[in-house]
A = this chain, B = another copy of it.
Amino acid sequence: MSETERDARHRARMQRKKAVMDEKIAQARDEYGLLLVHTGNGKGKSSSAFGMVARALGHGMKVGVVQFIKGAATTGEEAFFRRFPEEVSYHVMGEGFTWDTQDRQRDIAKAGEAWTVARGLLQRDDIGLVVLDELNIALKHGYLQLDEVLADLESRPLHQHVVVTGRGAPPGLIEAADTVTEMALVKHAFKAGVKAQKGIEF
């Protein structure tokens, strides 16, 4: 096939693709706040949520963040987004990974406190995006009741987006979500013996 033929074929294929995309966009009717869930064993669940924070800030929104489980260590995201206290309401509630604390009753109490903060953000009309980082872990361990969480999500302002992250999202949350992404691990340097890297892993 000549270069000219290849170009022509490419043009035809892209024209068909554009028609399909335009049609899809025209069909999309509603505009309201979405509930997104990032789950799975791969990387990128939290960092994708923090990318959305940057995106939302770029659109002039205010953002709320609650970190449920990790957060004993100061992460790069936290250091960065705390630069904008007028725009980002940032709350680190967890006291480290659950295998560091080894105290279930304390984890339950801490998760309850974190949810109180989250509920406050979910009631604020001026906040366009709420990130509930590692909430899935708190749900999976039974530290929080799913029905209570879903009720508070349900009654949030109509325009407010919410992103929930963490492995093992419960089926009831997946059911309630508008968009669910499973981050699957294909290959991981950590397993191959490379240290967790500043700026990448934390």
Contact = CB atoms under 8 A, between A and B. Distances in A.
- Pick from A31, A47, A56, A128 the residue with the most CB of B within 10 Å: A47
Interface string A83-121: 000000000000001111111110000000000000000
Contacts of A145: none
A179 B40 contact: no
Q: Is chain A's interface secondary structure helix, strand, loop, or mixed overall?
A: mixed
Contacts of A202: 55
A179 B43 contact: yes
Contact of A27 (B17, B45, B177, B193): B193
Given A14-B98, A31-B197, A104-B10, A76 B50 contact: no
Given A161-B200, A178-B187, A58 B34 contact: no
Contact of A32 (B39, B43, B194): B194
B54 A53 contact: yes
A15 interface: yes
Interface string A136-150: 000001000000000
17 contacts: A14-B99, A14-B102, A15-B102, A18-B100, A28-B196, A33-B197, A42-B181, A43-B48, A44-B45, A44-B51, A50-B50, A50-B51, A58-B80, A61-B199, A161-B200, A178-B187, A179-B189
Interface of A: 6-7, 10-11, 14-15, 17-18, 21, 24-25, 27-34, 36, 38-40, 42-59, 61, 75-81, 97-105, 128-129, 141, 161, 174, 177-200, 202
